[in-house]
A and B are shown apart, each in its own frame.
Chain A
Amino acid sequence: MRDALAMRQIESRGSARASLISANALSKTYASERSGSITALQAVTFDIAEGEFVSLVGPSGCGKSTLLRLLAGLLPSTSGSLTLAGEPLRGPGRQSAIVFQSPVLLPWRTILQNILLPIEFRKWPIAEYRRKAVDLLALVGLGQFVDAFPYELSGGMQQRAAIVRALVQDPKLLLMDEPFGALDAMTREQLNLEVLRIWSRSRKTVVFVTHSIAESIFLSDRVFVMTSRPGTLAEIIDIDLPRPRDLKMINTAKFGDYAAHIRSLLDAKGELY
């Protein structure tokens, strides 16, 4: 109900790209027994428009996973403000869905049962979502694995299923935490294209965490470059590459310039590995 109100407010503003997420001086500090406290994220400010594809790129420990968990409502922030669809974010809601680095499919459930798990958790009518789940599975090429168990699928297929599990909830915001980090390069490219295809159809807002510079440029409208100790937002880079994108673009000069720029930002902090 409140979500619906917030939506209407955004629509009434009449802007084509209303901001979905708005973070102001957002910080997260973890209590640590040895060194007192660790600042994972320090005073980060940004806006993400509805329908935008944003990547968070940076070395491990730069707070990108922390930021993603703040956006998911899985962690409370220490200070600063964070609003989602005009409402201050308090805990996980129905607005967002998350895809983890590992597929996190439950081995005792079939693929379809796994995909309907969030629906069970949210106590939505399962019968209504079954059709949708099957359709989405067919969309990502898993049509014949509806009743298979996760161990019968390859790593890439399992990750596709995990994406479907997020999409079936029809979230406004799709959060992806290094979803393809554990996959081989070929499967990864394929899934990047898949993600773009799904995104261009559904026009969901996507926040995509990665430590691959190329992946972040290839996918995004904007790349948030993050540096560590403490985790801060070094720069936000607009990626002005035409869409739909294809793998050939990776070899263009413009793509190379973006990559070089991001690398130099990370290099300046001595964080290239």
Chain B
Amino acid sequence: MTVLNLFGKHQAHLSGHRTLPSWRSVVRGYPQLTISPAILIAILTAWWVVSHVLQAPTYIVPPPEQVWRALVNGLARAPWDPGGYWYHAGITVWEALLGFAMGSVFGAVLGFTIVHWPILEKSTYPYVVGFQSLPKVALAPLMVVWFGFGLEGKVFITAVITFFPVLVNTMAGYQSVEPERIELAYSCNASQWHLITKIIIPSCLPFLFAGLSVASVLAILGAVVGELVGARSGLGMLLMQYNQSMEIAPVFAVILLLAVIGFLMNALVKLAERRFCFWAYRQRGLIGP
């Protein structure tokens, strides 16, 4: 018995000796697996303390478990049930995706065209800058007048918002193509078509993806803003509805859902970037950030 105990103690001592420094190295090596969850726990605890210990009114800060219940209830409904979250999330995501696709395609093509012909760049640049400094969400109320409460207005405002980061990044990408790459093409008598498709467009890709990454997050913003000013469905409309009836727990649940959707949209762009722009990653990895 004593022998066993001693043995156990001895082992605990040994392993304790070994795990103490390695625990620190785990924190240092994998902060996303250790510190990140710790921050989440701290936030949830603080939230719990605010609503239960400090007794904040539920219409200001609903307790976490109420928000959780609202979220589970909303997600338990069928996707075609307008009383659940899936239905409205689907509509918001659809608006965001359509707007994102239109805005980024248009932004990339126009950005490329503008830089390719210097006359166009010089003549349109003041308008590009002017329109870019305009807060695009200010156009949202106008969309209701132009397109009504349906899908089109939301797609349009999303397209306008996502258009600019893609346009500006495509322009920057074109302008930062190494001049030697272009000289190389010229020295080999390359056609304009080859110069554009084999040198300039691939050279622009890292910049284009940086623009798409920003645009993917802005896309959700565009769709939600469009719904806030007037819509029959979508998470933004839901948000407005719950807010007006002072049901704050579902408001929190919908906000959480929007955050998750934004994160996933961005992750999708990052995934595409790793697939189509793999070399930029590896290069960065080699040279350092």
Contacts and interface: CB of A to CB of B under 8 A. Distances in A.
B185 interface: yes
Contacts of A117: 184, 188, 198
A74 B183 contact: yes
B190 interface: yes
B180 A107 contact: no
B189 A121 contact: yes
A199 interface: no
A93 B187 CA distance: 7
Given A92-B188, A122-B189, 10 more contacts: A102-B180, A104-B178, A107-B283, A108-B202, A117-B198, A120-B198, A121-B185, A121-B188, A121-B189, A151-B283
B194 interface: yes
14 contacts: A73-B187, A74-B186, A92-B186, A97-B187, A100-B180, A100-B183, A102-B178, A108-B202, A118-B188, A121-B185, A121-B189, A121-B198, A122-B190, A149-B279
Interface in B253-289: 278-280, 282-283, 286
Interface of A: 69, 72-74, 92-94, 96-98, 100-102, 104, 106-108, 117-118, 120-122, 149, 151, 169
Contact of B184 (A69, A93, A98): A98
B187 A72 contact: yes
A151 B183 CA distance: 21
Contacts of A74: 183, 186-187
A93 to B, nearest CB: 7
Contacts of A96: 187
Contacts of B205: 108
- Chain A CB within 10 Å, residue with most, of B185, B190, B191, B278: B190
B77 interface: no
Contact of A104 (B181, B186, B191, B282): B181
Contact of A121 (B183, B194, B279, B286): B194
B199 interface: yes
A92 B187 contact: yes
A151 B282 contact: yes
B111 to A, nearest CB: 20
Contacts of B279: 107-108, 149, 151
A92 B180 contact: no
A273 to B, nearest CB: 24
B180 A106 contact: no
A106 B202 contact: yes
Contacts of B191: 121
Contacts of A121: 185, 188-191, 194, 198
B286 A92 contact: no
B187 A94 contact: no
Contacts of B184: 98, 100, 104, 117-118
A73 B181 CA distance: 16
A149 to B, nearest CB: 7
A154 to B, nearest CB: 11
Contacts of B190: 121-122
Contacts of A169: 188
